[in-house]
């Protein structure tokens, strides 16, 4: 693959300037951007959320709505994002507002593009805390300090107590008052690690980290998978609890669930979040590609790599391992319950091997989380750079300062994880659906699906099948609108009740709204800068490299 | 595990692995990247055979 050329800095900056006047950064290689996008997509949800949902919503039958959503929703939106991003990048824009303004031809799309910055920024604020939990668990398994006691019947309760203490679930401020919790120390470590990687730039930070982290994650996944698949029947007095029945618990189809709209909604939501579409991350990452760089095969490859991790590893490890030791009494409940309450009990039952498997597992989750979280910082950093004309370093520090404030908010309001849940619902779920809908409508109807596909095929190493013209213009927007309406119908009443009952939830939502207002103001500031610089911010002219 | 369970598991695993292997293979077989003719980065280096 390509190496850095002369005149490039360690961050991978080339000679050209972006909308903020700073040198444009570039990916070091074709595989580099694919690894970075895959790293962004492969996260904790691949190993915990997907298997939990599949077991809950029909086992093997869940794969039908899951792959439908992949084909008709995620791939079209994903390819649209890759194409729009590269087009915007060719015009000097690397942030969602700039790119959406160019593709959506005007101010409305540009202001809606601020969602592409808000989502990743807010998601980072709480995701970084989950990352700190993973590192803390990995560390405790490594040094042998994680202990659930000697009584197997008390493992589950003890595991829950430990987790609740680690996250400060009992009361607000539990992690910061009466001495600083170790969780906060791990939070500081992972926060600085993320910031350091972003400061090192695209090539020196994100690309390099992902080039080491993803192969390491693959090796750790294989190690854990081999251990799980060779568990056999650990307790001879319970011959029904074995690996094959565990796989059956995960994969046996229950077709009756397909008649339930919730199953289709859950599948669409999962495929969406797992591929990082609608986050604003692909919009930023792919904007550093050039006209001759492929986006079609790259988008497919990144999605396929994510699916191997999710279906190939996540689908074979978590639920079968839990079933072998705990049977159908295991707690699937939520991503966190499965990952941080149930699995430690499973590792405890594994005896002496449990410590090594536990460390491998949580370190794997930690690496997956870092590869995702650095991708959440990058869109905001790029936006501050081009809207305010800040240097790479200053925009990184500004992003870090905002994230630190928001993340400390989540750490302080830790009771029942209310602040985290509020951010996750309104931004990590609702706003993603909204932004994805905006994007596919801009691509298919404003920019034009034919022009969009022509743009996608510049330098493409494969062609998007012709049928996707119809899917991108009609099916995907309609599918998304149905999912968005269904999601609101299913979740908004409960969320509204939660807002009415919890002042912290209201205050957290106000914090999110305040940040959105700040971003909108900065879009306005950026608009003036870009216009003064003579940039084509409404996409009225072809890119300069078009001739 | 039922026959349906085996079917969905094997079909899903085959599908995702096949897609990943096929797409990575296409990437590896693709023409090498040319990186230095962009952004006014100077003349292209001679091809490897020159």
- Say which residue the tokens 């895959």 belong to: A38
Q: Which of A1, A60, A316 is nearest residue B8 as measured by Cβ atoms?
A: A60
Number of domains in chain B: 1
Q: Which residues pair with A17 in a beta bridge?
A: A23
DSSP symbol at A6: T
- A542 is a domain residue: no
Predicted local confidence at residue B37, as pLDDT:
43
Q: Could you tell me which of A358, A337, A340 has the C-alpha nearest to residue A348? A: A358
Number of domains in chain A: 1
Rounded mean pLDDT of A235-244?
A: 90
- A520 is a domain residue: yes
pLDDT for residue A361 is more than 80: yes
DSSP symbol at B43: P
- Using the beta-carbon criterion (under 8 Å), do A30 and B16 form an inter-chain contact? no
What per-residue string of b and e applies to A402-436 under the rule 16 or more CB within 10 Å gives b? bbbebbbbbbbbbbbbbbbbbbbbbbbbbbbbbbb
A369-400, pLDDT tens digit by residue? 999 999 999 999 999 999 999 999 999 999 99
For every residue of B15-42, DSSP letters joined together read: HHHHHHHHHHHHHHHSPPP--TTSTT--
Query: What is the Cα–Cα distance from A233 to A225, expressed in whole angstroms?
Result: 16
Chain B residue at shortest CA distance from A303: B20
Predicted local confidence at residue B33, as pLDDT:
65
What range does the domain containing B13 cover?
Answer: 1-28
- A1 is a domain residue: no
- B45 is a domain residue: no
- B42 is a domain residue: no
Q: Which of B13, B26, B39 is nearest residue A462 as measured by Cβ atoms?
A: B26
Of A18-27, A450-459, A516-525, the poorest mean pLDDT is in A18-27
Predicted local confidence at residue A17, as pLDDT:
64
Q: Which of A14, A30, A252 is nearest residue B41 as measured by Cβ atoms?
A: A14
Mean pLDDT of chain A: 91
A427-468, pLDDT tens digit by residue? 988 899 899 999 999 999 999 999 999 999 999 999 999 999
Predicted local confidence at residue B48, as pLDDT:
46
* A546 Cβ contact list (under 8 Å, min separation 6): A291
Q: Residue A290: list chain B partners with CB under 8 A.
A: 38
- A6 is a domain residue: no
Rounded mean pLDDT of B5-30?
A: 95
Write down the pTM of the prediction: 0.90
CB proximity B10 to A under 8 Å: no
Q: Which CATH number covers residue A359?
A: 1.20.1740
- B40 is a domain residue: no
Q: How many CB pairs lie under 8 A apart between chains A and B?
A: 107
Q: Could you tell me which of A54, A110, A180 has the C-alpha nearest to residue A383? A: A110
Predicted local confidence at residue A42, as pLDDT:
93
Q: Which two tokens stand for residue A96?
A: 């969602």
- Percent of chain B at pLDDT > 70 equals 64
- Using the beta-carbon criterion (under 8 Å), do B6 and A7 form an inter-chain contact? no
pLDDT for residue B22 is more than 90: yes
Rounded mean pLDDT of A324-353?
A: 83
A147-192, pLDDT tens digit by residue? 898 888 899 899 999 999 999 999 999 998 877 889 999 999 999 9
Q: Residue B1: list chain A partners with CB under 8 A.
A: 244-245, 247-248, 251-252
Q: Residue A247: list chain B partners with CB under 8 A.
A: 1, 5, 9
Of A70-79, A316-325, A442-451, B16-25, the poorest mean pLDDT is in A316-325
CB proximity B40 to A under 8 Å: yes
Phi/psi at A290 (5° precision): -110, 175
A306-334, pLDDT tens digit by residue? 999 999 999 999 999 889 888 877 766 67
Q: Which residue has the higher pLDDT, A477 or A13?
A: A477
Confidence of residue A265 (pLDDT cuts 50, 70, 90): confident
- A3 is a domain residue: no
Predicted local confidence at residue A19, as pLDDT:
66
Chain B residue at shortest CA distance from A250: B5
Q: Please report the sign of the dihedral spanned by the C-alpha atoms of residue A220, residue A224, residue A229, residue A230.
A: positive
- Residue A373's Cβ-side half-sphere holds a number of Cα atoms within 13 Å equal to 29
What per-residue string of b and e applies to A140-152 under the rule 16 or more CB within 10 Å gives b? bbbeeebebeeee
Predicted local confidence at residue A477, as pLDDT:
95
- Using the beta-carbon criterion (under 8 Å), do B27 and A14 form an inter-chain contact? no
Predicted local confidence at residue A3, as pLDDT:
34
Rounded mean pLDDT of A354-379?
A: 95
Phi/psi at A241 (5° precision): -95, 85
Q: Please report the sign of the dihedral spanned by the C-alpha atoms of residue A272, residue A44, residue A283, residue A523.
A: positive
Of A15-29, A45-59, A493-507, the poorest mean pLDDT is in A15-29
Q: Residue B39: list chain A partners with CB under 8 A.
A: 14-16, 24, 26
Run of H or E residues at A13? strand A13-17
- B24 is a domain residue: yes
- A104 is a domain residue: yes
What range does the domain containing A357 cover?
Answer: 19-533
- A546 is a domain residue: no
Chain B residue at shortest CA distance from A90: B39
Q: Could you tell me which of A160, A183, A203, A168 has the C-alpha nearest to residue A3? A: A203
- B14 is a domain residue: yes
Confidence of residue A6 (pLDDT cuts 50, 70, 90): very low
- Using the beta-carbon criterion (under 8 Å), do A61 and B40 form an inter-chain contact? no
């Amino acid at each position: 693959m390509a190496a850095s050329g002369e005149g490039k800095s360690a961050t991978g900056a080339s000679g050209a300037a972006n909308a903020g006047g700073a040198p444009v950064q570039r990916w070091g290689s074709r595989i580099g951007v694919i690894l970075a996008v895959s790293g962004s997509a492969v996260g904790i949800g691949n190993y915990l959320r997907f298997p939990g949902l599949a077991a809950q919503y029909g086992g093997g039958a869940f794969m039908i709505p899951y792959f439908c959503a992949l084909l008709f929703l995620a791939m079209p939106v994903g390819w649209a994002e890759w194409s729009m991003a590269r087009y915007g990048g060719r015009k000097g824009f690397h942030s969602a507002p700039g790119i959406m303004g160019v593709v959506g031809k005007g101010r409305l799309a540009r202001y809606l593009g601020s969602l592409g910055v808000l989502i990743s920024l807010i998601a980072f604020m709480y995701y970084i805390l989950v990352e700190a939990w993973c590192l803390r668990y990995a560390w405790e398994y490594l040094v042998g300090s994680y202990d659930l006691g000697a009584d197997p019947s008390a493992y589950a309760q003890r595991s829950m107590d430990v987790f609740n203490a680690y996250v400060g679930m009992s009361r607000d401020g539990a992690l910061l008052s009466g001495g600083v919790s170790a969780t906060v120390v791990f939070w500081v470590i992972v926060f600085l690690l993320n910031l350091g990687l972003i400061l090192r730039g695209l090539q020196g930070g994100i690309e390099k980290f992902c080039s080491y982290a993803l192969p390491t994650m693959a090796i750790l996944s294989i190690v854990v998978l081999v251990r799980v698949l060779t568990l056999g029947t650990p307790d001879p007095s319970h011959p029904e609890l074995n690996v094959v029945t565990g796989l059956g618990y995960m994969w046996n189809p229950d077709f009756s669930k397909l008649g339930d709209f919730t199953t289709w909604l859950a599948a669409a939501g999962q495929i969406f979040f797992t591929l990082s579409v609608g986050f604003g991350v692909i919009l930023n990452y792919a904007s550093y590609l050039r006209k001759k760089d492929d986006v079609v095969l790259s988008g497919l490859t990144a999605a396929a790599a994510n699916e191997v991790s999710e279906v190939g590893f996540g689908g074979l490890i978590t639920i079968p391992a839990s079933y072998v030791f705990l049977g159908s009494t295991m707690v699937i409940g939520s991503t966190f319950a499965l990952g941080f309450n149930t699995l430690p009990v499973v590792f405890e039952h594994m005896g002496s091997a449990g410590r090594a498997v536990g460390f491998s597992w949580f370190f794997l989750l930690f690496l997956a989380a870092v590869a995702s979280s650095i991708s959440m910082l990058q869109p905001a950093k790029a936006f501050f750079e081009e809207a305010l004309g800040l240097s790479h370093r200053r925009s990184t520090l500004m992003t870090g300062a905002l994230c630190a404030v928001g993340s400390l908010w989540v750490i302080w309001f830790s009771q029942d994880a209310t602040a985290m849940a509020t951010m996750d619902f309104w931004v990590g779920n609702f706003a993603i659906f909204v932004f994805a809908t905006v994007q596919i409508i801009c691509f298919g109807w404003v920019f034009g699906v034919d022009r969009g596909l022509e743009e996608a095929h510049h330098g493409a190493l494969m062609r998007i099948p012709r049928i996707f013209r119809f899917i991108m213009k009609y099916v995907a927007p309609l599918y998304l609108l149905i999912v968005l309406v269904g999601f609101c119908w299913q979740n908004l009443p409960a969320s509204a009740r939660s807002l009415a009952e919890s002042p912290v939830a209201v205050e957290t939502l106000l914090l999110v709204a305040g940040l959105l207002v700040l971003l909108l103001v900065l879009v306005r500031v950026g608009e003036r800068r870009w216009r003064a610089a003579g940039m084509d911010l409404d996409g009225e002219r072809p890119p300069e490299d078009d001739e | 595990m039922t026959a349906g369970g085996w079917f969905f598991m094997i079909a899903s695993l085959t599908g995702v692995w096949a897609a990943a292997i096929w797409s990575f293979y296409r990437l590896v077989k693709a023409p090498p990247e040319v990186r230095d003719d962009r952004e006014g980065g100077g003349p292209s280096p001679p091809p490897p055979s020159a």
